[in-house]
Chain A
């Protein structure tokens, strides 16, 4: 078959070219595959951590147990769906030792607990079912380090809970179930559930929380099972929870991360598409004569088309093989390096399906990027081809399938039509700018240069390169287009990377260790004096007033929507307490963790006339559908308070300070009944316990929660996420730079004949180098300018949609990446020049 023979010859004669071509595609595919698998692993491992926090796939909990008819229905429904099951009863109770009495959080556990996650106890290590059986057989108790310290207990000592005396069996060293499940008022202890009755606690009317945990056969069904369970259980006091809402803000961030990683993957793939599309177009341009000759000796169009298709398929196979080879080579390293992330083997991700997907992807990318030029080529008249020319221009419509594919990919990977579309639109704008404005400029330049000595303007090398730029329109446009799309993509990643990392990185401020609440108004002064005297780093207490939202712009509000994002225990509590209940606070201005994003500051203390001024948290306002200027009416203990929204705040919730969604100006709520919240800043574990003791002795009604453990866990997870983003961004940028390098390199190789002629004209080495430097600097500058500006715009829009408007401009990246790109250009030129210049004219002319 002729087409096959032609293709075979093509490969034989131009093996290096096609190898390079495949390498380009491979780099993109490897980037995409790696990011794809990595993303799966990261999100999985993060999701796993969040299921650990819930300690099962699904949990049903409430102040009372599901009982009678409902229980039967629930258990019947769950029977075929679950693999493991466990129940937990937890309650607050006083614990007594020989010398002390303190409030404890008692968890009565059963076999299998926790279904997901683990507990480590000093005497046993990681707890297994044998240990729990033992706990249910004998009156033993595992205590937290706080209990150990407060009661001064050691193994074998006695601790009385309710009517039973338990023997201390060990100290809890690690407990994955503790974080995020609401803050606990008191230090916890674990005892066997079989002793619940004997403690007689429940029968005395102590409020207990009862939870049924299930591990599902198919964890991905959790959400739909939850909905069905919610239909079975009519009592709204009983909640069905899945890991997703075990920690809402965590899953929100995991979502961002996953989407962002997906986008990076698409970008890597796109970069390589830009690269091969460039290489392919310049290849076709070089082969025009050859195709013309083939046609003139009677080779049919379909044969020529077939020939090209065979080449494309071969390149696809070659790239797939190289991708797999590289994956085989590189992934074990990656797995090694990322050990803490991947519980299993990374390579397990590379299944036959993945191989098929890679091959399919490489073919699609190949065909879609090569199709436009190919179709233009096939339309040409033989004589035009023989002259080495192309008539007519590339119709942008031909790029439509490719564009559509790109669009679909971005939507798929970003999980968002808007973000995918923004990406797509941005690249389209780059395309338009390069294809319309630039040619106009080049034409004008060209007209100005006609009939002017080559040594003008400026100097001979400059004038020379200016002519090349203006007249080599096809090359100039193609190169600027490819480079600027590349730079756009790289900049988007670089800019978003910083924004996302900022979202994940906590403020420098010391984190709180203790949360104090239920502080009565009359206690505030005493507490302040006391903490000062004892040198406890207490932050100024924040007032909190219970209220109900009545009206929004005069209209009655039905019910408050469930909020997402970081919510404090108080807000959770108030949500449980009253659906429309909200917590108000007042302050003269913003605190250190808040930033004004819209509107103006408070005008000062309320004068008593007109509407009071209120500031809302941005996301809260968005959910409530309220903007600056709207009015809200609250009911505070029977009194209606009308307020006008004067500004929206953004809260850095990684500061973990007490932040309120609704803050009034001073002078409005001072007389309302209220309690205060306060935090004690980062202090050592020892000091925490000491302070806790002191506070409990002197202010017995104040509740204290120790939040340092929870905060540390969250921060550690964020750190890992930020790191993952950094690694992936870098990966993508490396792919980008490689593609840009190969574009430059191929362009420079074509300069070979030009160099021979320049030598013939008598140009010295320096001048030839200068000409090339000028020309490429110009192309590179234009592309870098367009790309950087577009990149920042896209990053801004995406972060506006993605990150609720947190955009952090990354100036260092902008400068750094542009310098790197320019250095890359210059170095590639020098390298290629050195290689070429020593060859004699005939060598340069041949080939």
Chain B
């Protein structure tokens, strides 16, 4: 269960306030794949950030199951994310000085999972990177980086995956393949995936579609 209760987000740019989300209410009960669409700059990434607790809403509350995410402090948030949420960023955000394998392995090692290396290698293999595991991010192409980011988000088996345009940097063929794996695993593991995308075709493959428009979230189908 994910719930937004009259959530607003305003950014302060100098002295100017930029209102991105306004009194947003939204409730998602079922597990499954959710697509979020909207124009560039409409606030899609912002929404994901709030949900993941990367940023605080200006007003309102966000609940995931029975936890009020917007009430947690930084260290509680960190713990909560580690065991519940996997994030795939628009800009990858891999740790530069760590190899692909290490990047994927880290979230497991943090929670003290055994066989972290084996598991990480397996996940990397599913995204087709078994021969790139010792490469550093600056030795990988954009698409490869994105696949490492995906592997990293999946490796802990989180309940919720937040993905911000994961196929944006990939060629159609690879993109499709990556999304295929993403969808299949999600269904298999009964995960909730919230996917921000510009790609209508991809959106249509999801269970439901929402659109951000005029600072609000509207159910499309």
Q: CB within 8 Å of B: which residues of A?
A: 387, 389, 450-451, 453-455, 460, 467-468, 471-472, 754, 756-757, 759-765, 767, 837-843, 845
Contact pick for A838, options B74, B79, B156, CB 8 Å:
B74
* C-alpha spacing A761/B136, complex, angstroms: 17
Residues of A within 8 A of B55 (CB): 840-843
* Contact present for B98 and A454 (CB under 8 Å): yes
Nearest chain A CB to B25 CB, angstrom units: 22
User: Does B87 make an interface contact (CB < 8 A)?
Assistant: yes
* Contact present for B110 and A757 (CB under 8 Å): no
Contact with A along B97-114 (1 / 0, CB 8 A): 111011001110111000
* Contact present for A760 and B116 (CB under 8 Å): no
Q: 8 A-B pairs, CB-CB below 8 angstroms? A: A460-B110, A468-B97, A761-B106, A762-B83, A763-B110, A840-B53, A840-B74, A842-B49
* C-alpha spacing A756/B102, complex, angstroms: 17
* Contact present for A453 and B105 (CB under 8 Å): yes
* Contact present for B79 and A451 (CB under 8 Å): no
* C-alpha spacing A387/B138, complex, angstroms: 8
Please report which residues of chain B, range 47-67, place their CB below 8 angstroms from some CB of chain A when the two chains form the complex.
Answer: 49, 52-56
* Contact present for B101 and A451 (CB under 8 Å): yes
* Contact present for A762 and B81 (CB under 8 Å): yes
* C-alpha spacing A759/B110, complex, angstroms: 11
* Contact present for A450 and B109 (CB under 8 Å): no
* Contact present for B56 and A453 (CB under 8 Å): no
For the complex of A and B, the 8 pairs showing the least CB-CB separation, nearest first, are A762-B82, A841-B54, A471-B97, A842-B55, A762-B110, A455-B109, A842-B54, A761-B106
* C-alpha spacing A764/B82, complex, angstroms: 10
* Contact present for A454 and B54 (CB under 8 Å): no
Contact pick for A761, options B49, B107, B116, CB 8 Å:
B107
User: Does B1 make an interface contact (CB < 8 A)?
Assistant: no
* Contact present for B107 and A764 (CB under 8 Å): no
Residues of A within 8 A of B107 (CB): 761-762
Extra contacts, 17 of them, besides A389-B138, A762-B156, A842-B49 (Cβ < 8 A), are A450-B134, A454-B102, A471-B97, A471-B136, A472-B97, A760-B81, A760-B87, A762-B82, A762-B110, A762-B111, A764-B75, A764-B78, A838-B74, A840-B53, A840-B77, A841-B49, A841-B53
Return the chain A residue nearest B116 by Cβ.
A453
Residues of B within 8 A of A837 (CB): 74
Nearest chain B CB to A757 CB, angstrom units: 5
* Contact present for A763 and B78 (CB under 8 Å): yes
* Contact present for A454 and B93 (CB under 8 Å): no
* Contact present for B79 and A764 (CB under 8 Å): yes
Residues of A within 8 A of B125 (CB): none
* C-alpha spacing A762/B153, complex, angstroms: 12
Return the chain B residue nearest A452 by Cβ.
B117
* C-alpha spacing A841/B45, complex, angstroms: 13
User: Does B95 make an interface contact (CB < 8 A)?
Assistant: yes
Residues of A within 8 A of B138 (CB): 387, 389
* Contact present for B98 and A467 (CB under 8 Å): yes
Residues of A within 8 A of B97 (CB): 467-468, 471-472
Residues of A within 8 A of B81 (CB): 759-760, 762
* C-alpha spacing A757/B105, complex, angstroms: 14
Please report which residues of chain B, range 63-94, place their CB below 8 angstroms from some CB of chain A when the two chains form the complex.
Answer: 74-75, 77-79, 81-83, 87, 93
Nearest chain B CB to A417 CB, angstrom units: 45
* C-alpha spacing A471/B75, complex, angstroms: 28
Residues of B within 8 A of A389 (CB): 138
Residues of B within 8 A of A841 (CB): 49, 52-55
Among B93, B101, B106, B116, the one with the most A-chain Cβ atoms within 10 Å of its Cβ is B106
* C-alpha spacing A764/B111, complex, angstroms: 10
Return the chain B residue nearest A471 by Cβ.
B97
Please report which residues of chain B, range 169-187, place their CB below 8 angstroms from some CB of chain A when the two chains form the complex.
Answer: none
* C-alpha spacing A89/B136, complex, angstroms: 90
* C-alpha spacing A845/B134, complex, angstroms: 25
Residues of A within 8 A of B82 (CB): 761-762
* C-alpha spacing A389/B156, complex, angstroms: 32
Residues of B within 8 A of A842 (CB): 49, 54-55
* C-alpha spacing A745/B138, complex, angstroms: 27
Return the chain A residue nearest B133 by Cβ.
A451
Residues of A within 8 A of B93 (CB): 756-757, 760, 845
Nearest chain B CB to A385 CB, angstrom units: 14
* C-alpha spacing A701/B8, complex, angstroms: 108
Residues of B within 8 A of A450 (CB): 99, 134
Among A455, A472, A762, A837, the one with the most B-chain Cβ atoms within 10 Å of its Cβ is A762
Nearest chain A CB to B107 CB, angstrom units: 5
Please report which residues of chain B, range 125-150, place their CB below 8 angstroms from some CB of chain A when the two chains form the complex.
Answer: 134, 136, 138
* C-alpha spacing A387/B137, complex, angstroms: 12
* Contact present for A759 and B74 (CB under 8 Å): yes
Contact pick for A454, options B49, B52, B109, CB 8 Å:
B109
Question: A759 with B78: in contact, given A455-B109, A842-B55 (CB under 8 Å)?
Answer: yes
Residues of B within 8 A of A840 (CB): 53-56, 74, 77
Residues of A within 8 A of B77 (CB): 759, 840
Nearest chain A CB to B71 CB, angstrom units: 13
Question: A765 with B109: in contact, given A451-B101, A760-B93 (CB under 8 Å)?
Answer: no
Residues of B within 8 A of A754 (CB): 95
Residues of B within 8 A of A451 (CB): 101, 134
* C-alpha spacing A762/B109, complex, angstroms: 10
Residues of A within 8 A of B74 (CB): 759, 765, 837-840
Residues of B within 8 A of A762 (CB): 78-79, 81-83, 107, 110-111, 156
* C-alpha spacing A451/B109, complex, angstroms: 14
Return the chain B residue nearest A842 by Cβ.
B55
Residues of B within 8 A of A757 (CB): 93, 95
Residues of B within 8 A of A765 (CB): 74-75, 78
Contact with A along B25-57 (1 / 0, CB 8 A): 000000000000000000000000100111110
Among A451, A757, A841, the one with the most B-chain Cβ atoms within 10 Å of its Cβ is A841
